[in-house]
Structure 1
Amino acid sequence: MKERIILSLSTLDDVDFIVNKKTCASLWPFEDFISSDKEAVRKNVVEKINSDWYKQYIIKLDDPERTPIGELHIHWYVKERGSWEIGYCIFPEYRGQGYCVEAAKIALRYAFEDWNAHKVVAMCNEFNISSYKVMERIGMVREGIFREELSWQGKWVNQFFYSILDSEFRKRNINS
C-alpha cells in the first residue's frame, strides 16, 4: 500500500512553523501546560534540531503541495538501553483518517532499522483515547499506568505507558 504521507525532517527553515504549533494550546488538549513563550520554545526547538538525539518531523501529505498535517518527534529515552520515545500531533482537520498511524509506523521503521533502537516508548493522558489507539494500532503494548501522574484540567489523572520492542516490530513486519 502506498503511503499517503511523508515525514519531512525539520530544518532551521521550519523553526517558525514548529514554534507556532508547539505553542498552540488548542492542538494539545490533553496537556495541561503549553508554553506561550515563543522565544523560549524557539530556543528549545533550535537546540533540538541541531542535536543528534532528537528528530523533529513535519507530517506532510504526499501530494504536490506537501501539505503539512501534523508533527512527530522521536528522541532518545534512555540512550544506554537503546530506547527512544515517540510523540505526535495531527492537526484537527486531518484527525481520524489514519495519518498518525502511518506517520508513527514510518518513525518506528526509522528507529528500529536505521537507529538500532531496542525499544520505543510512548506515553499519554488516560483520556487521550485517540493517542493510545494509535499506539495499539502500531503494535505497542500498554506496559503500565502511572497513577495520577499528570495534572490536567485541575485534577490528577493517570498516564498510560506503552512500548514496542525491536523483536516485536520485526515479527509484526514479517507477518504483515
Structure 2
Amino acid sequence: MMPRIALSPVTEDDIEFIVDLETNASLWPYEDRIPTDKAAVRREVAERIGSDWYKQYLIRLNSPEATIIGELTLHWYVHERGSWELGFCLFPEYRGQGYCGEAARMALKIAFEGWKAHKVIAMCNLHNTASAKVLEGLGMVREGIFREELYWNGQWVDQYFYAILEREYQKVAATPLLSLNEQSYSRAPRLCTL
C-alpha cells in the first residue's frame, strides 16, 4: 500500500512558511507559549536547518500537488543517552484522519533505523486526548506525568510524558500501517496536535 503522506526536510525556501506556522496560535491549541516575535523565530528556524540536533519536516500529501498538511520535528532530548523528542502539528482540515500517526511512524523509522536512537519521547498537554491516542497507538508508553507543567487557558495543567524504546519500536515496525490506523484513529477526536 502506497503511503498517503511523505516527509520532506525543511529547507531555506520553507523558512517563511515555518515562521508563519510556528507563530499561528490557532494551530497550537494545547501549547502554553506561542512565540510572537517572527524575527526571532526566523533566526531559530534558519539556525536549525542542517543541524545535527534538530530535524524539521513538512508533512505533505503523497500526490502530484504534494500539498503541505503540517509539520513534524525530531530533536535531541538527551544526546548522550541516544534519545530524541518527537513533535507534530497538522492543519485543522487534515486532523482526525490518521495522518499524525503515519507521520509519527515515519519519524520513528528515521530515528530508530536511520539514526540508531535508543529512545524517542513525546510530551502532550493532558487535555490533548488526540495526541495521546496517536502516541499510544504507536506503542509509546506513558511513563509519567509532569504535574502542573503548563500554564494553559489561565490554569496550570499536567503534561504527559511518553516514550518508546528501540526494542519496542521493532514490534511497531512489524505491524501493518493499516492495522494501526484502524485500531488507533477510527474513533480519534478531531484535534491532533502536539
TM-score normalised by structure 2 residue count: 0.89
What are structure 2's unaligned runs of at least 5 residues?
A: 177-194
- 1:33 aligns to what? 33
CA contact (8 A) 2:138 2:172 kept: no
Q: Secondary structure, in 3 states, of the residue corresponding to 1:170?
A: helix
Q: Secondary structure, in 3 states, of the residue corresponding to 1:63?
A: coil
Aligned equivalents of 2:49 and 2:130: distance in 1? 27
Aligned equivalents of 1:121 and 1:148: distance in 2? 19
Query: Which is worse superposed, 42-51 or 67-76?
Result: 42-51
Aligned equivalents of 1:49 and 1:24: distance in 2? 20
Aligned equivalents of 1:154 and 1:41: distance in 2? 24
Aligned equivalents of 1:175 and 1:44: distance in 2? 37
CA contact (8 A) 2:21 2:27 kept: yes
Aligned equivalents of 1:172 and 1:160: distance in 2? 21
Aligned equivalents of 1:12 and 1:110: distance in 2? 21
Aligned equivalents of 1:32 and 1:113: distance in 2? 32
Shift of 1:171: 2.5
- 2:66 aligns to what? 66
Shift of 1:175: 5.1
Aligned equivalents of 1:129 and 1:4: distance in 2? 23
Shift of 1:58: 0.3
Query: Which is worse superposed, 60-69 or 28-37?
Result: 28-37
Shift of 1:40: 0.4
CA contact (8 A) 2:69 2:91 kept: yes
* 1:5-60 deviation line (CA, Å, top 9, x unaligned): 00011111110010000000000001122111100000011111131111100000
Shift of 1:162: 0.2
- 1:119 aligns to what? 119
> Letter of the aligned partner of 2:61 in structure 1?
L
What are structure 1's unaligned runs of at least 5 residues?
A: none
Aligned equivalents of 2:42 and 2:174: distance in 1? 41
CA contact (8 A) 2:123 2:161 kept: yes
Shift of 1:174: 3.0
- 2:184 aligns to what? none
Q: Secondary structure, in 3 states, of the residue corresponding to 1:172?
A: helix
> Letter of the aligned partner of 1:52 in structure 2?
D
Q: Considering Cα pairs closer than 8 Å and 6+ residues apart, tell me whether 1 or 2 has the greater RCO.
A: 2
- 1:9 aligns to what? 9
Change (3 A) 1:91 1:175: closer
- 1:79 aligns to what? 79
4+ long deviations beyond 4 Å: none
Residue 104 of structure 2 corresponds to residue 104 of structure 1: yes
CA contact (8 A) 2:71 2:90 kept: yes
- 1:160 aligns to what? 160
Aligned equivalents of 2:116 and 2:50: distance in 1? 20
